[in-house]
Amino acid sequence: MSTTLTPRKLPTQARAKAKIQQVLDATQAILNRDGPAALTTPAIAAESGVSVGSIYQYFPNKETIVLALYEARLAEIRNVAAGAQDDGEADWRTFFRKWISAIKAREEAVGYGLSMSAAFDHFPKLAEVEPVHAEQMAERVVAQLKRFGSTWPDEALFDLAIYAYYLDSTTWRYWTVAQARLPQGVERLVETVIALLAPALEGGTPPPPPYASRRLNRS
């Protein structure tokens, strides 16, 4: 059975926007405390103080609420990635170490944790939206590689960048097994990405095609 992930309508008034924020905050609280199996629309209503009827005015199902929460958190993470794109750092290794660490720190600050990762396993339909974020983040990596002087073809740089992005999935799997965001996960991710990017910035030869291709329209 197909599940729609499109909100019924978007709030325009401040009061309605505040209600939506209450719903999203309540959804995250339930995910963090009780896990995705406990997430129901009545539970969200009870946690948020927003009636079930009011919630259904905006969201047709709980998956749509989780999607809205997920997209809000990812937008904040992308803002961090964009904000540090040119910080004046001349050494590419230092830049990427700081950049990746800042992104992971922002994830933790906004509550994008193991509960969100578990939600994607519980609601597999949500995984359909993840490639949008993945490619946007990969494009930011490509821009940095070019800024630091890589002469690799654009297609080879994107292939490298999207691979680097998905290394992060390994970190999340590690944290899921550990049941905690252990700091060595970030340290290992940073050093693995640095080693992966080094050939593109230090005179290495790009691998021959075929490459992973962009699936989305570039904007």
CA angle 65, 123, 78 (to 5 degrees): 60
Mind listing the pLDDT tens digit for each residue in 110-135?
Answer: 878 788 778 878 887 777 777 888 99
Residues 6 or more apart in contact with residue 9 via CB below 8 angstroms: 57, 58
* Residues whose CB falls within 8 Å of the CB of residue 64, separated by 6 or more in sequence, listed in order: 4, 5, 6, 7
Residues 127-184 have pLDDT tens digits of: 777 788 899 999 999 999 999 999 999 999 999 999 999 999 899 999 989 989 999 9
Q: Is the peptide bond before 210 cis (omega within 30 degrees of 0)?
A: yes
Class of domain 14-201: mainly alpha
Measured on CA atoms in the order 96, 199, 132, 187, is the torsion positive or negative? negative
